[in-house]
Chains A and B, each alone.
Chain A
Amino acid sequence: MRKLILPYLSFSFFLMINIVFWTYSKNVQMVWANVPQAPSEFKATTSFLGDRQMAYRAYAYILQNMGSVDGKVLSLREYNYESLRGWFFLEHALDPKSDIAPALAAYYYGSTKDEEDLKYIIDYLKVVGQSPEGQKWRWLGHAVYLARHQVNDNDLALELAYLLADNKSPSLASWAKQMPVFVLKGRGDNALAYKIMLNILISNVDTMHPNEIFYMKDYICNTLLPTIKGEQRPPFCDDIQ
């Protein structure tokens, strides 16, 4: 028994030291250093031993939860959007087909009210939305919405709307082709909007759905034409009440 006194005493001593240390360490929390710089494509792929898709999904997961890991809830204003843009472009390089990264950018990080931050999101959506693959053009449509209604930059919205209308995807919706018209109307360029809408109608009358044709005629005759002086009323307006 006497031989065990020293080991027991030593153990008790270090147990007390641990408890004293715990009273300090339990209040220490990691300070989040904000969004880190995105790694290069090589480093990102190497970290996952060459599996690009694994790297894409893992980084998408990180982006989804960034800043919210240890129970904290941060305002989007606190994020470094310039660094976030780097991450989104990295994701685009790793997998340009998936919609996870554009969805995170558009719907989650795009919810910020800071106009400067939104421009970084728009930069990314502009690139993604120009892909003719699948329905990627919808992200460019969202970028137009952000530019027009959140950033209040109609020049930027018009630039994006022209890019959207030029998208070569076979699934491009009619409203996407007409987007420059809506933005021009919002800017007050009704004459140019009228000409573009009329041109779209004439060029696509053989392929568009009758409902779409009726909508365009109604928009031309009842929304645009009344605001333009000196423009001759097209014959088809007589069919629209």
Chain B
Amino acid sequence: MMVFSLVKYVLTAAFRDKILIAFVVLAAVGVSLSMFLGSSAMSEKDQFSAVFAAGTLRIGSFVTLILFVIFYIRKSFETRDVEYMLSRPVSRLQFLTAHSLSFSFLAFLLAVITTSVIFSMPGPQNMEGNLLWGLSLFVELVLVSNVALFFSVVLSSSVVATLATIAFYTLSRMIGGILGIIAAEPEGGAMLVLQKIMLLISMIIPRFDLMGQSAWLIYGAQDSINWPFILSQGLVFYGLVFTASYVDFKRKQF
């Protein structure tokens, strides 16, 4: 029960910060710009608009979510809200679970808004592709919000935590290309060491390059990337990042 009370508390803070309204305004601007750019394309105007809108909203939802998560958690630490809550009958695990659930619910809301916008774009709609894209975006946002939670618990500076999350997200979206280069061009000497290090790092980096592909909106879902893969990756990595946050939070001395 305490967990649900905490979830309600965090969501109240989110709605008080008006992040959903801000995201809707951001989405309106992003979609307008995408449709303007798409209208000036020589042909396939609707496809241009859909792809630009999807790419913009994907980045916009990521930024909106991580900024809220990081600045909210750091403010909670700085104003000693965390210590106050832990003085109540709330365990550290319950505290972390409540926050993780809240941020995941916000991720769900942002994914629903974004997918709805994509569905409302003019032009032919690929239902299966759109739904897979929406699901993929939801899983991606859940993972980044929990990664943001991890960094904001571990690091004491909001700016550093934000930069670390952005760096993690960028690496996750590039890791596919890096793995492809390692597989295609085996090197020797110092480069071999670097390749091994990258392979090691890739074990704990999710494959965001395989998720949220704009091509799904145009051509439909591919056989190799389907919802079981996306959900499996989401569950596996969520477990990793949540337990990492718990380990650090458990060790923290107040």
A contact residues vs B (CB 8 Å cutoff): 42, 45-46, 48-54, 57-58, 60-61, 64, 95, 97-100, 103-104, 108
Contacts and interface: CB of A to CB of B under 8 A. Distances in A.
Given A50-B208, A57-B48, A100 B42 contact: yes
B37 A61 contact: yes
Given A42-B177, A46-B177, A61-B37, A54 B52 contact: yes
Contacts of A52: 213-215
Contacts, number: 65
A103 B43 contact: yes
29 contacts: A46-B177, A48-B55, A49-B170, A49-B173, A49-B209, A50-B209, A51-B55, A51-B173, A51-B213, A51-B214, A53-B51, A53-B218, A54-B51, A54-B52, A54-B54, A54-B55, A57-B47, A57-B48, A57-B51, A57-B52, A58-B52, A60-B41, A64-B41, A98-B44, A100-B41, A100-B42, A100-B43, A103-B42, A103-B43
A50 B181 CA distance: 14
B134 interface: no
B174 interface: yes
A123 B55 CA distance: 32
- The size bracket of the interface on B is 20 to 34
A53 B44 contact: no
B177 A50 contact: yes
A212 to B, nearest CB: 29
Given A52-B213, A64-B42, A97-B219, 14 more contacts: A42-B180, A46-B174, A46-B177, A49-B208, A51-B212, A51-B214, A52-B214, A52-B215, A54-B52, A54-B55, A58-B52, A60-B48, A100-B41, A100-B42
Interface of B: 37, 41-44, 47-48, 51-52, 54-55, 170, 173-174, 176-177, 180-181, 208-209, 212-215, 217-219
A42 B212 contact: no
Given A48-B55, A51-B213, A53-B218, A100 B208 contact: no
A223 B251 CA distance: 92
A42 B181 contact: yes
Q: What are the 4 closest A-B residue pairs judged by CB atoms, nearest first? A: A50-B209, A53-B214, A49-B173, A53-B215
Contacts of B217: 53
B55 A98 contact: no
A48 B177 CA distance: 12
A85 to B, nearest CB: 19
